[in-house]
Amino acid sequence: MQDWLTMTACDLGRGIGMGQIDPVELTETYLSAIDAHPHRDRIYARVTHDRARAEAQAAQERARLGLRRSLLDGVPISWKDLFDTAGIVTEAGSALLKDRVPDADALVLRNATAMGTVCLGKTHMSELAFSGLGLNPVTATPPCINDEDAVSGGSSSGAAASVAWGLAACGIGSDTGGSVRIPAAWNDLVGLKTTAGRLSLEGVVPLCLRFDTVGPVARSVEDAAQMLALLEGGSPADLRGASLKGLRFAELQTVAQDDLRDAPRAAYQEAVEKLRAAGAEIIPLEVPELHEAMALSGILYTTEAYGLWRDVIEANPDAMYPEILERFRMGQGTSGPDYVAAWAKLKACRNAWDAATAGFDAVLAPSAPILPPNLDRLMNDHDYYVSENLLALRNTRIGNLMGLAALTLPTGTPSCGLMMLGYPGSEEVLLRLGSAAESALA
């Protein structure tokens, strides 16, 4: 049973389908592991024992009758604490929402539950999802699997930690500037950023509605593909026969290669060579317009975030972690014309990106230029906090600004990921590429 805590979600599902794994026993194994874990309260904001047991019992009966609803029917997963859960506190990591109890599940949670997944509970996150570090002195800061004294990445910090520490078979998070991919990369997991608008945001506590996306943090590309299908009520990507032979990848030079720390640089270069050895053609690519797009992100993100949260924040600003409060308030001085002009400029940058990348199957870049920063130093060194927070999300933010689907894969070097940037709405194609790359990197 201990192996169940490290198996992929799909392998667990296959075990249930073959009658080798009982969903109730599986769920009890996970609940016991969670409750006994020394980092339980740093990873889970709330564990939903009663709900998990009821859903596992229903899955057990469906399996007995041969009526399983999906490959992952009966598999236990975690949910970031910004997905509404009916009758269960959902606070998005903020004292501003303390004791907030929604009346209904978020739509993506309803979809996944309808297909048989078991909800283990709600995981900790960066406050209101506005940081790539995962540091949250207001609620809790989950630890990185490779360094317990370091942060796990944000904002879906607990989502990744729950999977990495064997406390969930898959975690569901959100990605506005890299919040699925950074914790996935730093915890040696697969993270899928979906195209904005593909998955419903109904019942999801917002940060920036024009950039917010929902996505899984998983142990394999196959798990991510299956979860995407369940979250939207669709069919999973066909990963059979995926190969890198004859494919053309762009290796992004602009912005993404700047200021790389030694370990991420070496891991990325080694990963690229493994893809090349597997038959991929890899060509350096410059997209100068990215510099302008990155410069616009301050206006675009902070203005919308502050516009959505201003009244709630200013009614009780002392309830917030000062670093996050400061980041929100950066948006209060932007004029309406400047915000509109920034979006017009971003659309022109997106057009330039589309033209530059049109001849490639995907674009490659390091998932993060840095390793997970030290928690205590982040708490006590403001300049370090600011610099590491900006660097953490720099590469992943490219995918959000350009409106892309994106995937991060573990390279085999601890806390170093390889990012693949696909076209908008190309998740199925990107997952096939990721599956082939996953094999090459292994």
Model confidence over 260-313: pLDDT tens digits? 999 999 999 999 999 999 999 999 999 999 999 999 999 999 999 999 999 999
Domain 248-290+332-441 fold: Amidase signature (AS) enzymes (3.90.1300)
139-177 pLDDT, tens digit each:
999 999 999 999 999 999 999 999 999 999 999 999 999
Catalytic residue among 78, 80, 162, 193: 80
User: In this model, does residue 34 exceed pLDDT 70?
Assistant: yes
Res 257 pLDDT > 90: yes
Encoded amino acid at 24, one letter: V
Q: Give the SS3 label for residue 49.
A: helix
Mean per-residue pLDDT, 315-319: 98
Sign of CA dihedral 115, 118, 119, 123: negative
Q: Spot the catalytic one: 179, 220, 297, 367.
A: 179
pTM higher than the cut 0.75: yes
98 counts as catalytic: no
CA distance 12 to 23: 9
Give the pLDDT confidence score for residue 239 in this predicted structure: 98
**80 counts as catalytic:** yes
Which residue spans within 222-317 are E strands per DSSP? 248-252, 281-285
| Residue 41: half-sphere exposure toward Cβ, Cα within 13 Å | 1
- Indicate if 179 belongs to the active site: yes
For the beta carbon of residue 6, count every other beta carbon within 10 angstroms.
10
Two tokens, residue 116: 């048989």
Options 78, 126, 131, 155, the catalytic residue? 155
For tokens 């009916």, the residue is 86
Class of 2-232 per CATH? alpha beta
| CA pair distance 268, 287, nearest whole angstrom | 19
* Residue range(s) of every CATH 3.90.1300.10 domain in the chain: 2-232, 248-290+332-441
